[in-house]
Amino acid sequence: MTDLVVIQNDYSFIPLVNMVIDGLTSEHSKDAYKRALTGFLDWYKSSGQGEFNKASVLAYKARLVDSGLKPSTVNQRLSAIRKLATEANDNGILAADLASGIAKIKGVRMHGTRSGNWLSKERAQEVINSPDVTTLKGLRDRAILAILLGCGLRRSECASLQVGDIQQREGRWVIVDMTGKGRRVRSVPMPTWTKAAIDSWTARAGITTGNIFRQVRRGDHLTGIKSMTAHAIHDVVKTYAGEAAPHDLRRTFAKLCHKGGAALEQIQLTLGHSTIQTTERYLGIQQDLTDAPCDKLGLK
Domain ranges of the chain: 4-103, 121-283
| 16 compared with 205, residue with greater pLDDT | 205
The C-alpha atoms of residue 36 and residue 72 are separated, in whole angstroms, by: 13
Which span out of 120-129, 181-190, 259-268, 270-279 was modeled with the highest average pLDDT?
120-129
Kindly give the residue spans of alpha helices, DSSP state H, lying in 47-154: 54-66, 71-90, 96-103, 121-128, 136-151
Q: C-alpha distances in angstroms, 74 versus 21, 120, 141, 197, 206? A: 18, 29, 32, 38, 44
Is 273 one of the annotated active-site residues of the chain? yes
Spot the catalytic one: 34, 181, 186, 234. Answer: 181
- Residues forming beta bridges with residue 172, ordered by sequence position: 169
Into which CATH architecture does domain 121-283 fall?
A: Orthogonal Bundle (1.10)
Burial label for 204, CB within 10 Å (0-12, 13-18, 19+), is: middle
Q: What is the mean pLDDT of residues 35-53?
A: 86
Of the pLDDT bands very low, low, confident and very high (cuts 50, 70, 90), residue 11 is: very low
Of the pLDDT bands very low, low, confident and very high (cuts 50, 70, 90), residue 96 is: very high
Which span out of 111-115, 177-181, 287-291 was modeled with the highest average pLDDT?
177-181
Is 282 one of the annotated active-site residues of the chain? yes
Is 154 one of the annotated active-site residues of the chain? yes
Spatial contact of 239 and 141, defined as CB atoms under 8 Å apart: yes
Whole-model pTM: value is 0.65
Kindly give the residue spans of alpha helices, DSSP state H, lying in the chain: 4-8, 13-22, 27-46, 54-66, 71-90, 96-103, 121-128, 136-151, 155-159, 192-205, 230-240, 246-259, 264-271, 276-283
Is 172 in a helix, a strand, or coil?
Answer: strand
Is 28 one of the annotated active-site residues of the chain? no
Give the amino acid at 149: L
Taking the domain 4-103, which CATH number applies?
A: 1.10.150.130
Spot the catalytic one: 250, 251, 255, 258. Answer: 250
Spot the catalytic one: 28, 61, 77, 154. Answer: 154
